[in-house]
Chains A and B, each alone.
Chain A
Amino acid sequence: MLAYILRRILATLPVMGIVVVFVFLLVRIAPGDPAAIIAGDYATPENIQKIRVGLGLDKPIHVQFWIYLTNLAQGDLGRSLHSRLPVGQLILQRVEPTVALALSTLTFAILMAIPLGIVAAWKAGSLIDRAVMVFAVGGFSLPVFWLGFLLIYAFSIRLDLLPVQGYVSYRQGVLPFIRHLILPTVALGLIYMALLARITRASVLEVLQSDYIRTAYAKGVRPAGVLFAHALKNAAVPVVTTIGVGFALLIGGVVITESVFALPGLGRLTVDAVLQRDYSIIQGVTLLFALVYAVVNLVVDLSYTLFDPRIRY
Chain B
Amino acid sequence: MTDSLEGPGFIPYDALTRTQKARRFARRNPTMIAGAVLLLLMVALAIGAPLLHTVNPVDMNPVDRLKAPGGGNWFGTDMYGRDSYSRVIYGSRVSLFVGLVVASVTSVIGLTVGLVSGFVRRLDNVIMRVMDGIMALPDLLLAISFVALTGASVRNVIIALVIPQTPRVVRLVRSIVLVLREQPFVESATAMGARLPRLLIRHLLPNTLAALVVQGTYVMASAVLIEAGLSFLGAGTPPEIPSWGNIMAEARSYVRVAFWLLLFPGLFLALTVLSINLLGDGLRDMLDPRIARRMR
Contact = CB atoms under 8 A, between A and B. Distances in A.
B278 interface: yes
Interface string B245-264: 00010001001100100110
Contacts of A206: 294
A202 B296 CA distance: 8
A286 B143 CA distance: 11
A255 B255 contact: no
Contacts of B235: 271, 274-275
Contact of A138 (B142, B151, B233, B274): B274
Interface string B208-237: 000000000000010001101100111100
A282 interface: yes
Contact of B150 (A17, A31, A256, A260): A31
B67 to A, nearest CB: 18
Given A18-B132, A143-B266, A149-B252, A202 B294 contact: yes
Contacts of B148: 273-275, 277, 282
Interface string A260-298: 100000000011011101010010011001100110000
A212 interface: no
Given A152-B255, A202-B295, 10 more contacts: A18-B129, A18-B134, A21-B133, A137-B278, A141-B277, A145-B266, A206-B294, A252-B138, A273-B148, A274-B235
B130 interface: yes
A149 B136 contact: no
A16 B141 CA distance: 16
A18 B133 CA distance: 5
A221 interface: no
Given A256-B229, A274-B144, A285-B141, A16 B136 contact: yes
Interface in A47-90: none
A228 B245 CA distance: 45
Interface of A: 14-19, 21-22, 26-27, 29-31, 137-138, 140-146, 149-150, 152-153, 157, 198, 202, 205-206, 248-249, 251-253, 255-256, 259-260, 270-271, 273-275, 277, 279, 282, 285-286, 289-290, 293-294
Which 5 A/B pairs are nearest by Cβ-Cβ distance?
Answer: A18-B133, A252-B140, A146-B266, A30-B149, A141-B274
A108 B221 CA distance: 25
B interface, over-half SS: helix
B137 interface: yes
B232 to A, nearest CB: 5
B145 A15 contact: no
B232 A145 contact: yes
A31 B148 CA distance: 11
A248 B139 contact: yes
Contacts of A137: 31, 274, 277-278, 281
Contact of A143 (B151, B252, B269): B269
Nearest to A250: B138
B146 interface: yes
Contacts of B269: 143, 146
Given A256-B229, A274-B144, A141 B221 contact: yes
A251 B132 contact: no
A15 to B, nearest CB: 5
A141 B224 CA distance: 10
Contacts of A248: 138-139
B144 A270 contact: yes
B141 A143 contact: no
B123 interface: no
A153 B145 contact: no
B102 interface: no
Contacts of B31: 137
B137 A146 contact: no
A138 to B, nearest CB: 6
A255 B228 contact: no
A103 to B, nearest CB: 17
Contact of B141 (A141, A152, A255, A260): A255
Contacts of B277: 137, 140-141
A206 B290 CA distance: 11
A286 B274 CA distance: 29
B173 interface: no
Contact of B229 (A18, A143, A273, A289): A143
A255 B294 contact: no
B138 A143 contact: no
A257 to B, nearest CB: 10
B273 interface: yes
Contacts of B252: 149, 260
Contacts of A205: 294
Contacts of B134: 18, 22
B130 A18 contact: yes
B130 to A, nearest CB: 6
A153 B132 CA distance: 40
